[in-house]
Structure 1
Amino acid sequence: MALLWLGPALLVLLWLGSCGLRRRRRRAPRTLLAAGPAWPDDVRALLVTAHPDDEAMFFSPTLLSLGRLQAQVWLLCGSSGNYYNQGEIRKKELEESCAVLGIPPSNVAVIDHRALPDNPAVEWDKQLLSTFVLKHIETNNINLVVTFDAGGVSGHANHISLYVALRHLHLEGKLPEGCQVLILESVNLLRKYISMLDVPISCLLSRDVLFILTKEESEQAKRAMRCHRSQLLWFRHIYLVFSRYMVINSLRLL
């Protein structure tokens, strides 16, 4: 019997996703209302990433959905991605990618501090990183911050450091009043690489916010990722096809 309603139910869930946002009412963020006309006019969102290409590889559904909902978006990147001495190239690629995702160059900033190196084995200094992030929040009157969760999606130490810094600001009460933090949920390896097949699972398990891209938007996300030409090794082409993070972002409130 379950199979009789599974197909129609999936179509409904996909339709909800194409509208851009699905939330459970019990824990709905105060700054985020329902998709469509009820979406507030004054959302000023800051995406905090660790490396150029994080924004396209992991957060495209969030960025494109916020853009569709007419939020103003800024991006703060912790490093230039200079692990293989390609930092200057990668910063230019970041601007190109952000342009595809709807973020103007004036809203894109890279910290690139020597104490915050691009290195999967290095945990960034919580206090230093928090200072940079908080200054950016206050300067741009940010009321919504988006970053990685404690798993960092890929387990990268730099990704996890962003979560630690935002959690520190949150717990210490240093964020401006009304500024909320959404963290991108890390999923297991199987879910990570089943693309749109993860939609029903995400719809059932997501607690706060779920962004799902339309087919056209998913192509836009791929175009953004292709701007990072220096990083397009063979396995990233596979990632573009199979990763659920290219089409789905489930986030929860910190």
Structure 2
Amino acid sequence: MIKNIIGILRTAGCVFAEEEAQLLISEARTLDDLSKMVNTRITGMPLEHVLGWAEFCGMRIAVDPGVFVPRRRTEFLVQKAVSLSAPGAIVVDLCCGTGAVGVAIAKALGWIELYAVDIDPTAVSCAHRNVTTLGGLVYEGDLYQPLPAKLRGKVDILVANAPYVPTEAIQLLPQDARLHEPMAALDGGNDGLDIQRRVAEEASQWLAPGGHLIIETSKMQAPQTVEIFAQYGLIPQLTHNDELDATIVIGSKPAPFE
């Protein structure tokens, strides 16, 4: 049976057909379920949407259809956030999608005060399933708008895996992303940096002195992201991980007397 499934997936263009077949078989409760899952996968729906979860930082994160799938490269953002934080920190996860980034930070540190925000109600519903199990709170709204006012000037770590694909480059993305993930989670405007600008513009109002804004970007766009951070009063630091092909920019809010 598994050979037949591998053949079907491979014919449909699934590069990792063997691994996908094993995962589908392990998740299906009946042969009918398995057939439906395979048929759904070969239509182009992301594997994570078919399975209902994605592996991220060694965890299973619930992923509902229509929600942005967390990428492995974003684990680098989590690593940096953890290295700059400590248990009990106040962490805000903007453009949270499934809430994977905030959840992974919380798991690594043991306990944090976690707030997650997304503008997409489908993502917010999904994030509730992941974030609230750790005692975090999830808000629906545009970036900082729904956050409690009490957090102003108190946030230790502000993470944002904001969309950074330029509008004209959306057509170059894999079909499963273009057709099955929300455009709001992909499209970063003409140069891909529109949302990053809005995040950086208000970051200092929410960060505690010495707090950090951490944003994922592309290697090509990183110099512009650095400029944006500096423009809005943050001390920027660019870092890249070759293994994950991941680039992030860290913007630190100056502490008093710095």
Shorter chain as normaliser: what TM range? 0.3 to 0.5
Q: TM-score, normalised by structure 1?
A: 0.39
Kindly indicate which of the two structures has a greater share of residues assigned to strand: 2
Q: TM-score, normalised by structure 2?
A: 0.39
